[in-house]
Structure 1
């Protein structure tokens, strides 16, 4: 039986690392959709959205370095490096144009990658993205929480306790993707990759704020969660205010509220996310 996330392949980065990807074919002439996961998260987190898109557009999911089945990166996974890896993957796929969707930290990654090669980007969908316009990420409380995570998560991973969190997520996915997620996400190696990415986050956000990547002319949709569980009312309001500002920063921009979701919108409202992605694949502007 074919895997719900498509055919297996690898893409080589410019410095020789192999990134694992899965590709689902689609109709000719339709932009290829590439789904960028959140910080420390494997490709399987997108499986419900990929299933909702299947048959309407070609779709690619992949694992960033050190996550899932991709080789680790000996260098620091800065935002610019992650965006360069994404562009290397797009070179490998070889499509004429793309719609990029990024969840959480995947949002800044696809923004920077699109700014590096804007000529092949048909549109962006940013799903509850990390956004440098949100003061939350520059607060002492956020810094303290990141330090605590860096201290505690490796021990929890070695004890196998982090992987307990995979259960509720996996239950929302197709069976084969759920099995992959349980086996590959929140492992000790995956936690190390997550913490390496998060270590670069403060400097990356400061650089984004000081030198934001050019917005380009491609349309952008920002999807915000609305539930406050796990984030709190004030933080959710601050994040969604930044999302609204991002959506209002230029023409052809749209802000959509996911009324049944918190942060994990690709899991809780995959049809909403898929609909916004497919809307951009149908945009026939030159």
Structure 2
């Protein structure tokens, strides 16, 4: 069973729950995708425990973090990430972000500035992809479905039945924590808020994209689409590739995985984190 112990950290008038593990002088911070939190990194953390201090957390309103009022924006989440790293991470660090967390990480990158040693994005939201042209309408349909799910998960057998894909992707103890913390009415309500935050952010990111990260950046793109989503997936991958290759120090890399890259290919994720840590050390020595 997972036995990580965490602590509550105040950020911008909110409270987030943080788990720290691993050893070493270096630091790595993990930003989850919508509907997930610190537990989604369980497959990766043991593979890096001998290399760095690892920081995984639940965003405000999610998991074990304090409840929130209103709906957060991507800017709010980015501000919390910046404040969190200021509170618990001394010096520079590598940031790893999944899915929607990529938007949060990119928005935070400018404020983090030289503290950011490297950025690893796992199948991130690519706002320029055609699939997001009508995302505002898609979210209305998704939200209706999730509203029903929010009511149904009160019945725990239905919560288990409706989360089979997550159960199959993660270790049993991780899934048990997700079932208890995320796949509950309050967790689904928070996920609905975060999905709407993405919908609001898409046109803003398109109109005024965040400044490109100045640190080495690796984008791992899931190569396996969901059933029936091959055409949309191809467009998403292409726009992920364009963005990564537009960076001064960016790299695009397909991963033999579905969307949950950290669960399906944790060894690759850990290897890329180590590469970013090693690269930034070499750069510091050269200076």
| Alignment TM-score > 0.5, same fold | yes
Which residue pairs with 2:235 in the alignment?
238
| Distance in 2 between residues matched to 1:265 and 1:201, nearest whole Å | 20
Q: Which aligned pairs between 1:1-286 and structure 2 lie closer than 5 A?
A: 3=3, 6-15=4-13, 17-28=14-25, 30=26, 32-139=27-134, 142-143=138-139, 145-160=141-156, 161-170=158-167, 172-174=169-171, 176-230=173-227, 232-259=229-256, 261-283=257-279, 284=281, 285-286=283-284
Structure 1 residue runs of 5 or longer lacking an equivalent are none
The answer as to whether partners of 2:9 and 2:15 remain within 8 angstroms in 1 is: yes
| Distance in 1 between residues matched to 2:232 and 2:2, nearest whole Å | 41
* CA RMSD across the alignment: 2.0
The answer as to whether partners of 2:130 and 2:232 remain within 8 angstroms in 1 is: no
Residue 7 and residue 247 in structure 1: after superposition, are their counterparts in 2 closer, same or farther (change >3 A)? same
| Distance in 1 between residues matched to 2:228 and 2:72, nearest whole Å | 26
| Distance in 2 between residues matched to 1:57 and 1:165, nearest whole Å | 36
TM-score by length of 2: 0.90
Which is further off, 169-178 or 275-284?
Answer: 169-178
| Distance in 1 between residues matched to 2:207 and 2:224, nearest whole Å | 30
TM-score by length of 1: 0.90
The answer as to whether partners of 1:166 and 1:181 remain within 8 angstroms in 2 is: no
The answer as to whether partners of 2:139 and 2:195 remain within 8 angstroms in 1 is: no
| Distance in 1 between residues matched to 2:23 and 2:181, nearest whole Å | 27
Look up the SS of the partner of 1:40 in the other structure.
Answer: coil
| Distance in 2 between residues matched to 1:105 and 1:113, nearest whole Å | 13
The answer as to whether partners of 2:150 and 2:184 remain within 8 angstroms in 1 is: no
Structure 2 residue runs of 5 or longer lacking an equivalent are none
